[in-house]
Chain A
Amino acid sequence: MDLERVDQIIEKHNSEASSLIQVLLEIQSENHWLPKEALERIAQRLDVPMTRIQHIATFYKAFSLVPKGRHEVHICMGTACHVRGAPRILDTVQDLIGIKPGETDLDMKFSLQTVNCLGCCALGPVMEVDGVYHGKMAPAKTADILKNYE
């Protein structure tokens, strides 16, 4: 992410220290992660200490300090999904894209994450890709869905 874009986002929020989380969220959603250079720029322009940015960026799960893939795959491991076979979904997806939860593949295509409840237990097991929910998953169906992503 170039720093010009970071500056634009900062300016949109009038360089106000109280907008720190908003600025971080916008960078996260555009860039999928928070690069150090961007954080340093924010620290300087909003006049907030790096320690606070580091604390916030590690406190909320929405932020990532490591590069994320273009597509974020979330597999629900909540109780309802679990008993309906989520572990098998996870196994299949891990085999398909070759990474474990918390990892990103070398082509930066997918990042895989497990989550504890997506709030739609009746649809379980659920797999979410880039915010789109795929309910009533079966291991065999995961490949059909994932092949639509570039």
Chain B
Amino acid sequence: MSPILLKIDGAKVQAQEGMSVWEAAASVGIAIPSLCLHGQLEPYGACRVCMVEVEVKGWTRLVASCCYPVEPDLVVRTRSTKIDKIRKTILELLLAHAPDSPQLKAMGQEYGANPNRFEKEASFCVHCGLCVRYCAEVKKLNVVGFVDRGTRREIGFIPELAAKECWNCKECFPLCPTSALQAAYVLTEALYAPHPFPKS
């Protein structure tokens, strides 16, 4: 398969078909920030932190680079005043949900995000889907899933499965950028109290 040629931040880049813009940028050492992206998981496009500007035949638009496949002659800009401003706003919105998340705080600092710009709505979960997808795609256990939709969406454990599987795994715990996952797990455990979760 012949390589696909594109331009990222002025540099000529050779990429393979099927690669995302994010991956193509990473292959030449251009780091695009990301939150919901994980090497073992399919790209999900939930956080929009990886937003870049692409130009095709003179038309520009904003896309999530983790999900956008490379195409010939694409011109990509990963940093500009406009993109930085968008990332800043996205981070400010995410910080309104999880003000103490170390990952969000670090990224927020880089982009000069004001954590108090939006009224706090401490739902903690930012719907990145890392826990849900890791459990489904890597562990194939499907213990934790999404419940409800829109602004009311949250994660939920299936208690019977959690009692059986989680104690020996917990591999999703370090993935959560906000600790909402750990909180939900402890809550499930508590609500399932008549049948205590195994501890070993």
- Listed in ascending order, the chain A residues whose CB lies under 8 Å from chain B are 49-52, 54-55, 58-59
Give the distance in Å from the alpha carbon of A59 to the alpha carbon of B147 in the complex: 7
Task: Name B155-189 residues within 8 Å CB distance of A.
Answer: 156, 158, 161
Q: Which residues of A contact B136 (CB under 8 A)?
A: 49, 51
Closest to B146 in A: A55
Q: Which B residue's beta carbon lies closest to that of A59? A: B149
A49: chain B residues at CB < 8 Å are 136, 142, 145
Beyond A49-B136, A51-B132, A58-B149, 11 additional contacts (C-beta under 8 Å) are A49-B145, A50-B142, A50-B161, A51-B136, A51-B145, A52-B145, A54-B156, A55-B146, A55-B147, A58-B147, A59-B148
Q: What number of B residues sit within 8 Å (CB to CB) of A? A: 14
CB-CB under 8 A from B156, the residues of chain A are: 51, 54
Are A51 and B143 closer than 8 Å at their CB atoms?
Answer: yes
- Fill in one digit per residue for B127-158: 1 if any A CB lies within 8 Å of its CB, else 0: 00000100110000011111111000000101
Could you tell me if A54 and B149 are in contact, using CB atoms closer than 8 angstroms?
Answer: no
Cβ distance B127 to chain A, nearest Cβ, rounded Å: 13
Digit string of B1-19 for contact with A (CB within 8 Å is 1, else 0)? Answer: 0000000000000000000
Complexed CA–CA distance, A51 and B143 (Å): 7
Contacts of A51 in B (CB 8 A): 132, 135-136, 142-146, 156, 158
